Every structure is written in C-alpha cells, then in structure tokens.
Structure 1
Amino acid sequence: MKTIHRPGWQPVILRQHREAHGLTLEAAGDQLRQVASRHGLTAPAANFQTLWAHEQGSVYPGPHYRRAYCLLYQANEPTLGFRLPLPGEITEVENSISDLPQPTDPATDNAAAQVIEQTLLKVSGAPSNAEQNALLNRVVDAWRRRHGQGSPKPILTLVGGYAGSGKTEFSRFLSDITGWAFLDKDSLTRAMVERLLVSLGGDPHDRHTELYLSEVRPLEYRCLMETAFDNLKVGTSAILSAPFIAELADPDWVCRLTNRCAARGIDVAVVWVRCDPESMREYIEFRGAPRDAWKLDNWQTYVSGLNTETSPSTAHITVDNRLGAAISLADQTRETLKRILA
C-alpha cells in the first residue's frame, strides 16, 4: 500500500505517549490488538518491529493503526503527532474521561447527551439551517428515548459521500448512539449486484460502466430504499449509508423523497461526509475491495470527476472528515460514553 506522509507528522510523540503510559513495545502491541478487537476494528499485527518503525518514522501508521493508537492513548491524531490539526480542530481531547460524572451520578444521562451534542457540533459546525438543528436534536432525543424518553416519530437519515470518505463509519457511530437501524448499501446488495453483473455479461466488480450505471445501480438503490421503508413503516428510524452521488445532486429526487416521507409522518435528514482525496485513497487501499480496483488503477481520472470542496446543495449537514478527523472524534466519543454509562 502506498505510504502517505501527513504534514506535521512527528513520530517521536508516539514514543513519548507509550513511555508515559509505562508500556514496552510488546505491551503496547498487546493493548493495541485488544483495543482494536474491543471496538470492532481490523486487528493490527502490532508486533514490536512495526511499532518501532512507527516511532522511528520509517513507516507511517495506516488508518487501522492510527485509530487504535488514538483509542489506546485517549488522544486524537494531531495530539499523537500523526498530522497537523484542521482549522479549529482541538488538539487535546476536550472531555477528559476522569472529569466526567461517574455512572452513579444522577446527571449521567444529561452528561452523555451533552457529549453527543458536542461531538456532532464539532464535526458539522454550529447549526446553519432548520434541518441541521432538527437532526442534532433528534440524535440526542434518540439517546434519551433509549433511556425511556424521547419522541416516537421515525426519521430517515441518508449518509452520503464518495468512496473512502468515512460515511460507513460515521453511520455506525450514529447507529451506536441512537439505536436506529443501520443499512449499508454494499452489505445489503453486493452479492446480488455481483451475480447480476455476471449474468449480464459484465465484470462482477464493475461500478463505473454504463452497464452498471443503467442496468444495475437503479435496482441496487431501490433495494436499499425499500428496506429502509420496511423499517420506517413499523416505527424504526433508519440510517442509510451509500454514495448517493446522483440522488443528492438532484433536488427533485430529494423533494420527492421528503414528500413521500412527510405523508407517512417520517422526517428526513441528509448528511454529506466530506473528505480529502489523499485520505479517501488511503482508506480505499486499506479495505482492498475488488470493486475499487478501477478507481485505484485510474485514480487521477476518477478524482478529476469528484467535487471534494463543496457539498451537494441538498445536504442538511456536512461532516468534515478530512484527514479522518470526524471518525477519530467519533471513536473518542464512544469511549467517553462507555465510561459514563459503564
């Protein structure tokens, strides 16, 4: 995999954190594997040679290592010296876990709700429209509902973004908090899509030719939307993770969906996950999915067709995941909530 060096990478800081925790390279490796397994991440090999290479600066840690390091040391990427912070990004974990209310504190639920709200504000900015404010309130409300309060009205949340942008991880984060159904397009339809492409005489991993775009893609999204409505009809809110490139570029499509949902008493929220091309490529290379082969083989052609600077006009919230910042913050928030509610 291509090694990506971030501006601001300071390997010595990683060693300083390990030593401050009193860990040898072998012990740090053991704990990295444990924390990755506990959080459902791809478990890194984390042998002492690899960790030594990270600390010496000869190998830049991949995304799975960086997430595990951040969880282990309770810090974000800029704090660990992996990169420079984004504008306005806090370089220290603001909510020190030791300062949060203990589970026996009667303010536990309120503390958890506050952590969730602060996290969403950090990754998406202060509410700039009614839809954004409504979604933020609904996420916190869903947390309270899981504890016996909140509104029963369902909501359909679309989480879109380019391949490797972090939309699936952010969708999982929302689902963790809210308990809403998490529906990933690839998980739901990949087997069907691959078999259908073969039956039509195509490549099972094709995601860019006219055959896929005209004959297969519409059915793929239809399956996703119908599965969502099966949940919504029984009062279960749903989070859909898919690129939604063509859909969110079409205000009429979003309007029709909103009207269809409104007629059934269902709210709609549209989230766009923004990411930089370098980070997207890193994640695409890391996951190693055959369906991404064309993108990687024709990267410049692929990237030239993307607009990574702005969000679709139909998006209610833009999550800033450049350099993986939003996903790192989501990991920290999960840890904080576990400590509050343990």
Structure 2
Amino acid sequence: MARQHPDWKPDLLRMHREEIGLTLEEAGEKLRDIADRHGLNIAANFQTIWGHEKGTVYPGPHYRRGYCRLYRRNEAQLGFRRALPGEDAPVESALAPASAERKLPDQPHAVRQALSSIREGTADVDIEALRNRVIDAWTRRSTGGNIDGPSVVLVGGFAGSGKSEFAKFLGSLTGWPILDKDSLTRPLVDQLLIALGGEAHDRSSELYREKVRPLEYRCLMEAAWDNVDCGISTILDAPFVSEFSQAEWMQRFHNRCRSKRVSVATIWVECDSDSMREYIEFRGAARDAWKMEAWEEYLSTLNLDMRPQGPHFVVDNRLGAAVALVDEARDVLSGGGL
C-alpha cells in the first residue's frame, strides 16, 4: 500500500484525533454525522479508523473527504498526498495554534473560498463577475429576493473529474436547477441502445457515439432552453467533451444565449488521471465497466490538456482540491462543527 501512495503519512490522522481528544469510537461517530450532512458513503467504525491510522488501509475518497471535514484540514495537511502549487503543505505537528484554524469561518468567506477554485480559462472572461453573480444569487435566495435575467452555466469535464459535485454546489448556492445529462436521459438511452441492437450500458461504441449521443445532448439542451424561456437560470452537468472542442458549437450556443439576453458561463473541471480513475472505480457505475477494464486504452482517448473553445473558466480539481473547498463551504453554511 505504501508503494502505491508514497506521500501518505498515516500517523498524522492519529495525531489530529488525539489532539482534539477523540477516541476511535467517537471519531467514527463524528465521521458518520459528517457523512449524513454531505451525502458521503461512510460506515466508520473503530477498526476502520485504526487501519487508516496504522497505514494498513488507504482511505477511499469519501473517507478522505470526511477526515478533512472532521479535522478542518485539506488532504495534503492530513498527509494523504503531496500539496498542489499554492496549497497549504502537510501539517507536521498539531499544537495549540492549529485548534484556532478549525474554527468555522463566516459564511461569505467560505463561499468565496470555494468559488476561488474557479479561475479564468481564457482572458476574455470576467471571473469576478461570475463569482459575484453566484454570490448575489445565494444572498438573494437566502433573504427571499429574486434575480432578474437568467443565466446558463455549463459544467463539463471528463468522467470522474468532480464536475457533478461542483455543479451541485453551485446549484445549492444559487437555487438554480441542475440538469444532469445522465439523470435526464439514462433510462431512455439504455433502452434505445438495446432497441438498436447494442448493450444498455455501452458508452464507448460507434453505435452510441453516432446514433444515441447526439439525441442525448439534444434532450439536455432542449430542456435547458425551456427553462431559459421561462426566465429560469439553469446549470447543465455533462461531460461536453465533443461540444466544448467545437468552436462552431460554442459560437452557436453563445449566439443563442445572446439573442435571449441570457448570460452564459462555461466551466471546465480539470482533474488528474489517477484521481479520476479512483472516483470512477469508487462509484461502480455499470456504464463505466469498459473504462475500468481497459483503463489505459480509455485514457489514451483523453486529452488531459483539453480546454473549451471560446470564453471559459477552469476549476482545478486535481487531487480533489476543489471538492475539498466545496465540502468546507457546505459545512460552514450548514453550521456543521466537530
């Protein structure tokens, strides 16, 4: 296990647990509470936590997110991985000053910290305008106000990149409905593939790409236009790999939004291949079976340096860094504590 995670320092988990005076059983109880708040798949007991602290079992993605919330640290500070550029480095000691850092920040600060994951992907976008629009929607929603002028936010990225988590966070802040491609079309897509002589969970064949995928995205976009025509801002959650790669598609989309006086934001969630594989394996979806069976072949089809054509923003979720900030903001907004 250590060879697979050379930067892992499991002793830091025990150090932080003991610093705040938790037993293994108490830590498990708090992790289960955190799982309930964040929708995480955690069934923590003292044996599991002991295994994590002794270094015999590397925690899965939901456990790592739970530990980050419990100890108010990021994954690098808890010794799970190396720090990203600009990210706080691992905490080697847990002395008294660290306790103050675990105090929940005020809500606007936490929201802005989570939104700081979004950065300019091209020079012709206004990052502050997007952040302020999201914060304004959150503020008005929390005080019962209304927002004039709809927005469309496209959140795209490769499978397992964390795009759905980020889209859900934006939706929870703004109250804007989320149209998830899979939730919206999966039952129909599965049956259509079968009717055409394919397999229900196929997402890699020419049959899917040529006959089914265009209809899948058409359904998603038509549902979005229905919302926009009613003045309802909408967040779209889908890979958008082919669409974002086509300058013509992007231009047509922007033109249509402009004709409807709709503001638009295109967000690309980037992630490293190891983290994507871990999340895909963790969710265990039938549609991902081929990816897992032929990971290197699948990975060879991805351009990890890809960026959308035209104006866009980028969320850096390498090693789960952006999702960790989202979890922090959710805790602050819900008043969750230790």
When normalised by structure 2's length, the TM-score is: 0.90
8 Å CA contact retained: 1:127, 1:133: no
Cα deviation 1:122-149 (Å, max 9, x = unaligned): 4536994334343222112212221255
* Whole-angstrom distance in 2 between the partners of 1:90 and 1:224: 39
Which residue of structure 2 lines up, in the alignment, with residue 191 of structure 1? 187
* Whole-angstrom distance in 2 between the partners of 1:7 and 1:339: 35
8 Å CA contact retained: 1:271, 1:315: no
* Whole-angstrom distance in 1 between the partners of 2:9 and 2:240: 37
Where in structure 2 are the equivalents of 1:1-342 lying within 5 Å? Answer: 5-42=4-41, 44-91=42-89, 96=101, 98=103, 100=105, 112-124=107-119, 128-146=123-141, 147-148=143-144, 151-314=147-310, 316-339=312-335
* Whole-angstrom distance in 1 between the partners of 2:113 and 2:25: 36
Cα deviation 1:286-305 (Å, max 9, x = unaligned): 00001001111111111112
Q: What is the CA-CA distance between 1:98 and the residue it aligns to?
A: 3.6
Match of 1:319, SS state, is strand
Q: What is the CA-CA distance between 1:118 and the residue it aligns to?
A: 3.2
* Whole-angstrom distance in 1 between the partners of 2:187 and 2:145: 39
Change (3 A) 1:21 1:179: same
Match of 1:183, SS state, is strand
8 Å CA contact retained: 1:141, 1:150: no
Match of 1:23, SS state, is coil
Q: Report which stretch shifted further, 66-75 or 53-62.
A: 66-75
Which residue of structure 2 lines up, in the alignment, with residue 106 of structure 1? none
Identity of aligned residues (%): 53
Cα deviation 1:1-57 (Å, max 9, x = unaligned): x99944421100001111122211122112211210122222x22122211111011
Which residue of structure 1 lines up, in the alignment, with residue 95 of structure 2? none
Which residue of structure 2 lines up, in the alignment, with residue 109 of structure 1? none
Change (3 A) 1:49 1:98: closer
* Whole-angstrom distance in 2 between the partners of 1:97 and 1:126: 32
Change (3 A) 1:199 1:298: same
Match of 1:124, SS state, is strand
Change (3 A) 1:87 1:310: farther
* Whole-angstrom distance in 2 between the partners of 1:234 and 1:6: 50
Q: What is the CA-CA distance between 1:114 and the residue it aligns to?
A: 4.0
Change (3 A) 1:162 1:113: same
* Whole-angstrom distance in 1 between the partners of 2:21 and 2:228: 50
Which consecutive residues of structure 1, in runs of 5 or more, have no partner in the other structure? 102-111
* Whole-angstrom distance in 2 between the partners of 1:86 and 1:283: 19
Matched residue type, 1:65:
Y
Match of 1:240, SS state, is strand
Which consecutive residues of structure 2, in runs of 5 or more, have no partner in the other structure? 92-97
Q: Report which stretch shifted further, 190-199 or 26-35.
A: 26-35
8 Å CA contact retained: 2:250, 2:309: no
Matched residue type, 1:117:
R
Change (3 A) 1:141 1:4: farther
When normalised by structure 1's length, the TM-score is: 0.89
* Whole-angstrom distance in 2 between the partners of 1:236 and 1:180: 7
8 Å CA contact retained: 2:153, 2:234: yes
Q: CA RMSD in A?
A: 2.4
